[in-house]
Amino acid sequence: MLKGKKVLLGISGSIAAYKSAILVRLLIKAGAEVKVIMTPSATDFIAPLTLSTLSKNEVLSELSVNSSWANHVMLGRWADIMLIAPLSCNTLAKMAIGLCDNLLMAVYLSAVCPVMVAPAMDEDMWLHPSTKKNISALESYGNSVIPVENGELASGLKGDGRMSEPENIIGFLNDHLTKAGQLGGKKVLVTAGPTYEAIDPVRFIGNHSSGKTGIAIADEFRRRGAEVTLVCGPVSEHINSSISVIKVTSAAEMYNACVDLFPQMDIAVMSAAVADYTIADPAHEKIKKKEDFMVISLEKTRDILKTLGGLKKGSQLLIGFALETNNERENALKKLTDKNADMIVLNSLSDPGAGFGHDTNKIIIFDKNGGENHFDTKSKAAIASDIINSIIKFSNG
């Protein structure tokens, strides 16, 4: 899979940098073209000369050398894949907040290709809450984190935090590249976020959806090679620039956008938390405070998933969500048939770590052929991957 691929290898300051020589060698042997960028402190751990000799390319580490500027934007665009291995705690923190104080960070921040990282640090650092938070931030940007390994650490202690062995990193890259072509040529529609229903020009009825799950699904579809359109309610989450985004506010706007787009789609995943009711007669001017009580009349919104279920043709796949607090299974199965969906992803608000405001989720996927798959509590990125694996498995019969 790596043959002919352009790999940008970023090396940051960690003792595991000595393994980078083997990594470069394995990449070259697999037929990849490799360019290496080092942080200044990485050069304390391994000589740039070793890496330039093995990669057959000049090793870069400064933003400018002898008054000539290293074009970080073009480096980021050159690569098919960017791999940062080892990823030190310091570079991880910089990536999480977007601090741009060296060439590696400038390239990372301007890269348009998939980014993978292989962290390497002592166990105490690896387990620190700030490290966990920074790793989650990277995952939320769509970066893939190669799991650390357990074993002897530079401190002499044993535990988690060792950089994945170069052979395993190559396996991870191959797996990524295999998945990258899985949905090539497929058009996918995803909805995400809440909808806001206006009461008057300054107030609305909304819900707590952050859009994280839908955005993670859109991101994972993109990683698998699909052409993704995301119809998104008001959210503040970062959305990858290669996803085509249609921003909407109300349930009616989301309905119109989805009905319009659905005929051209191969797959549609409705993960938005759409308002079930909207204001019957929103005020055109700000409502003034008068009586002690006020009544707002609501009317039902149109069900987007159900409408698309009625429009579905041929091999089109339609996936809905069900967020339940009680009778979860029964309600999810009812939604599957009532809305003519192919699959329903159930998440229960009663599961710890699931639902609104969490970075994790716990799901069960039901399909119309009677399939029922339970998954553990995982990050929303990992859940997105499970959902897409299930869709691919279902469509392959």
Residue 305 interacting with ligand CTP (CB under 6 A): yes
Looking at the Cβ atoms of 96 and 332, the one nearer to ligand CTP is 332
> Which residues in the 68-87 window bind ligand CTP by CB under 6 A?
none
Task: Count Cβ atoms within 10 A of the Cβ of residue 41 and give its class: 0-12 exposed, 13-18 middle, 19 or more buried.
Answer: middle
Looking at the Cβ atoms of 59 and 346, the one nearer to ligand CTP is 346
Q: How far apart are CA 239 and CA 303, in angstroms?
A: 25
Q: How far apart are CA 283 and CA 277, in angstroms?
A: 16
Q: Which of the ranges 45-53, 180-188, 198-206, 269-277 carries the binding residues for ligand CTP, by CB under 6 A?
A: 269-277
Binds ligand CTP by CB under 6 A, chosen from 189, 274, 354, 381: 274
Beta strands, E only, 194-316: 197-200, 203-205, 227-232, 244-247, 267-270, 277-279, 298-300
On the CB side of 386, CA atoms within 13 Å amount to: 20
Cα-Cα-Cα-Cα dihedral sign, residues 107, 109, 115, 119: positive
Binds ligand CTP by CB under 6 A, chosen from 226, 304, 383, 391: 304
Residue 189 interacting with ligand CTP (CB under 6 A): no
Residue 346 interacting with ligand CTP (CB under 6 A): no
Binding-residue pattern over the window 275 to 294 for ligand CTP, x denoting contact by CB under 6 A: -x------------------
CB of 7 to ligand CTP, least distance (A): 39
Q: How far apart are CA 53 and CA 35, in angstroms?
A: 11
Token match 């990536």: residue?
95
Q: How far apart are CA 38 and CA 10, in angstroms?
A: 6
Looking at the Cβ atoms of 172 and 221, the one nearer to ligand CTP is 221
CB of 336 to ligand CTP, least distance (A): 10
Residues in the chain: 397
Looking at the Cβ atoms of 38 and 272, the one nearer to ligand CTP is 272
Active-site residue identified among 57, 168, 207, 389:
207
Residue 318 interacting with ligand CTP (CB under 6 A): no
Residue 355 interacting with ligand CTP (CB under 6 A): no
Residue 303 interacting with ligand CTP (CB under 6 A): yes
> Which residues in the 102-161 window bind ligand CTP by CB under 6 A?
none
Q: Which of the ranges 38-46, 211-219, 283-291, 303-311 carries the binding residues for ligand CTP, by CB under 6 A?
A: 303-311
Q: Give the phi and the psi of residue 83 in degrees, each rounded to 5.
A: -120, 125
Q: Which of the ranges 60-68, 205-213, 235-243, 272-280 carries the binding residues for ligand CTP, by CB under 6 A?
A: 272-280
Residue 270 interacting with ligand CTP (CB under 6 A): yes
Buried b (16+ CB within 10 A) or exposed e, 347-377: bbeebeebbbebbbbbbbbbbeeeeeeebee
Which helix (H) or strand (E) segment holds residue 51: the answer is: helix 48-55
Looking at the Cβ atoms of 36 and 274, the one nearer to ligand CTP is 274
Total of chain residues touching ligand CTP, rule CB under 6 A: 14
Residue 196 interacting with ligand CTP (CB under 6 A): no
Residue 231 interacting with ligand CTP (CB under 6 A): no
The verdict on whether 207 is a catalytic residue reads yes
- Measured between alpha carbons, how far is residue 53 from residues 45, 58, 72, 169 in Å? 16, 8, 22, 21
Residue 35 interacting with ligand CTP (CB under 6 A): no
CA dihedral of residues 30, 36, 42, 45 (deg, nearest 10)? 50
Residues annotated as catalytic are 207
Q: Which spans of this chain sit near ligand CTP (rule: CB under 6 A)?
A: 251, 270, 272, 274, 276, 301, 303-305, 320-323, 335
